[in-house]
Amino acid sequence: MAQDSKPLITAREEKARSRLFRVEALDLTFSNGSTRTFERLCSTGNGAVMIVAMPDPDHVLLIREYAAGFEDYVLTLPKGAVDPGEDIITAANRELKEECGFGAHNIVPLTELSVAPNYMSHRISVVLATGLYEERLAGDEPEPIVTERYRMDELASLLSREDFHEGRAIAALFIARERMRDETMPLIW
Amino acid sequence: MAQDSKPLITAREEKARSRLFRVEALDLTFSNGSTRTFERLCSTGNGAVMIVAMPDPDHVLLIREYAAGFEDYVLTLPKGAVDPGEDIITAANRELKEECGFGAHNIVPLTELSVAPNYMSHRISVVLATGLYEERLAGDEPEPIVTERYRMDELASLLSREDFHEGRAIAALFIARERMRDETMPLIW
């Protein structure tokens, strides 16, 4: 299968840069000889983490915050950038305290998701947080984030909401639900 | 709740532009008076479509293609940009013929997913395609895309593969599985 050998990257050039974004062009020669120039967005920073935080075996915490990409409020999972020197678990616990006012005694990695691998290098670690306790840390949010509880068995009705559409968050919730059904790896509440 | 009134956009400026990407900065004043400048990536073009194509009630088609964002091959759902003048259904059928060598007699919209609404305006329409027939259209792919069949009830094992990680595709597969369980809206095979 020709696909087994990756295309050769013959050139790599920065095409645009802003405070948050960096665009790179890759010149590629595929194993069948064809050539392409593909633009891609490079992630900057130390990665990101998304948290499925469950106060009990039936509920999950969702946040409602302003999303500048959509110029509107969206319902999604708490998430944020990993700070320099932080590991995923520490970052997840900090973000949960900043955005939802809860810490977690137990945080287990679930998976790593890509955003749009064809044109972005970004990936996000997804963790499952249980054993929640009240603790709020000051974050850099422009206004308080609203936290709401939803039933895990009402995912289907959540999906019909107009403000709930982030692919990564939907994937993370379904994956957490699968994980909870795995009786060989019981969760600690 | 303060969140009920959206922040005011007091300025909007293009910060960077390349062939594929456009970065915009929004100056925002939130209803509590705090101000922020948020960068966001604006989608260009006519939108995109992602296809859950099922040759029978038990299987789905996945593609294996080179993803420049990850500099590696990835396993994901067929998808692509909507061309000018196309509707979602027409675009889905064309992409399916180009990438997988199949057309579909029945294509139903499932949902619309966002990619990263906090900093991207991008969204993708997800459709479910059934009643497949063989037909290949020439696309602009640099090399043939490999199409593979997977069982819908093996989503859990798919999730453990290192090359299967795209959040939108995972969300789309779970949503399609939910849709198939809805006996009030039977699918046509």
Nearest to B167, CA basis, from A77, A124, A12: A124
Mean pLDDT of B156-164: 94
B10 burial type by CB count under 10 A (0-12 exposed, 13-18 middle, 19+ buried): exposed
Are A52 and A36 found together in one domain? no
Query: Which residue among B68, B73, B119 places its CB closest to the CB of A40?
Result: B68
Q: Are strands B146-151 and B123-134 parallel, antiparallel or unpaired?
A: unpaired
Rounded to an integer, what distance in angstroms lies between the CA atom of residue A1 and that of residue B28?
51
- Output the CA–CA distances (angstroms, integers) from residue B156 to A43, A175, B3, B52, B143, in the order listed: 28, 8, 38, 17, 30
Number of folded domains that form chain A: 2
Same domain, A98 and A55: yes
Q: Is A168 a domain residue?
A: yes
| Closest by Cβ to B3, choosing from A76, A121, A146 | A146
pLDDT band at residue A160 using 50, 70 and 90 as cut-offs: very high
Rounded CA separation A71/A142 (Å): 15
- In this predicted structure, the answer to whether residue A159 has a pLDDT above a threshold of 90 is yes
Q: Chain A: nearest CA to B38, how far in angstroms?
A: 7
What are the chain A neighbours of B172 within 8 Å (beta carbons)? 167
Q: What percent of chain A has pLDDT over 90?
A: 89
B101 part of a folded domain: yes
Domain shared by A164 and A136, yes or no: yes
pTM for the model: 0.96
Q: Which residues of B touch A165 (CB under 8 A)?
A: 111-114, 117, 123
Q: Amino acid identity of A31?
A: S
Contact B71 A26 (CB under 8 A): yes
Residue type, A7: P
Chain centroid to CA B32: how far?
Answer: 35
Instruction: Mutate one of A12, A32, A113, A118 to test the B interface: name it (highest B CB count within 10 A).
Output: A118
| B156 found inside a domain | yes
Query: How far apart are the CA of A83 and the nearest CA of chain B, in angstroms?
Result: 18
Residues A68 and A129 in one domain: yes
Strand order across the B22-29 sheet:
B8-17, B22-29, B35-42
- For residue A185, being part of any structural domain is answered with no
Residues B54-62: what's their mean pLDDT?
A: 97
Residues A91, A11, single domain; the answer is: no
Average pLDDT over residues A130-158: 95
- CA dihedral defined by A45, A49, A50, A56, rounded to 10 degrees? -150
Asked if A66 and B6 come within 8 Å (Cβ–Cβ), the reply is yes
Of the candidates A3, A114, A117, which has its C-beta nearest B146's C-beta? A3
Domain shared by B55 and B34, yes or no: no
* Chain A residues in contact with B3 (beta carbon < 8 A): 64-66, 73, 143, 146
Same domain, residue pair A133 and A66: yes
Q: Does the beta-carbon distance from A6 to B73 stay under 8 Å?
A: yes
Quick check: helix, strand or coil at residue A165? coil
For residue B2, the model assigns a pLDDT of 56
Alpha-carbon distance of B154 to B152, in angstroms, equals 5
According to the model, what pLDDT value does residue A182 have?
A: 84
Residue with tokens 């068995």: A153
Contacts with A93 (C-beta within 8 Å, 6 or more apart), sequence order: A103, A104, A107, A129
- Domain membership flag for residue B94: yes
**B88 shares a domain with B29:** no
- Residues of B within 8 A of A72 (CB-CB) are 6
Average pLDDT, chain B: 95
pLDDT at res. B182: 84
A28-41 per-position pLDDT tens digit: 999 999 999 999 99
User: What ipTM does the predicted assembly reach?
Assistant: 0.96
Of B152, B51, B156, B178, nearest to A155 by C-alpha is B178
What DSSP string runs through B10-47?
Answer: EEEEEEEE-SS-EEEEEEEE-TTS-EEEEEEEEP-SS-
Cα–Cα nearest to B38, from A187, A8, A152, A142: A142
CB contact under 8 A, B114 and A20: no
| In the predicted structure, residue B1 carries a pLDDT above the cut 60 | no
pLDDT tops 80 at residue A1: no
The greatest distance separating any two alpha carbons of chain A, rounded to the nearest whole angstrom, comes to 59
**Cα–Cα dist A179/A39, whole Å:** 36
Q: Give the end-to-end CA distance of chain A in Å, rounded to a whole number.
A: 48
**Cβ–Cβ of A166/B114 closer than 8 Å?**
yes
Given an 8 Å threshold on Cβ–Cβ distance, is A16 in contact with B20?
Answer: no
CA A155 to chain centre: 18
Q: Do B142 and A116 touch (CB under 8 A)?
A: no
- Strands ordered across the beta sheet of B48-53: B79-81, B48-53, B123-134, B102-114
Closest CA of chain B from A45, distance in Å:
15
**If pLDDT is split at 50, 70 and 90, which confidence band does A108 have?**
very high
Report the CATH number that the domain containing residue A171 is assigned in CATH: 3.90.79.10
Query: Amino acid letter at B94?
Result: R
* Residues pairing with B141 in the sheet: none
Q: Does residue A187 fall inside a structural domain?
A: no
Is B188 a member of any domain?
A: no
Q: What is the pLDDT of residue B155?
A: 92
Q: Are residues B164 and B132 in the same domain?
A: yes
A21, A99, A112: which to substitute to probe chain B, counting the most B Cβ within 10 Å? Answer: A21
Q: Is residue B185 part of a domain?
A: no
**How many angstroms separate the CA atoms of A71 and A138, rounded?**
24
Q: Select the residue of A32, A65, A167 nearest B113 (Cβ to Cβ).
A: A167
User: Alpha-carbon distance B67 to A120, whole Å?
Assistant: 9
Q: With a cut of 80, say whether residue B165 has pLDDT above it.
A: yes
Cα of A170 to nearest chain B Cα, Å = 6
- Burial (Cβ within 10 Å: 0-12, 13-18, ≥19) of residue A62: buried
Are both A122 and A152 inside the same structural domain? yes
Residue B111 distance to chain A (closest CA, Å): 8
Residue-range definition of the domain harbouring residue B22: 2-42
Q: Let me know whether B56 and B29 are in one domain.
A: no
Q: Could you tell me if A12 and A90 lie in one domain?
A: no
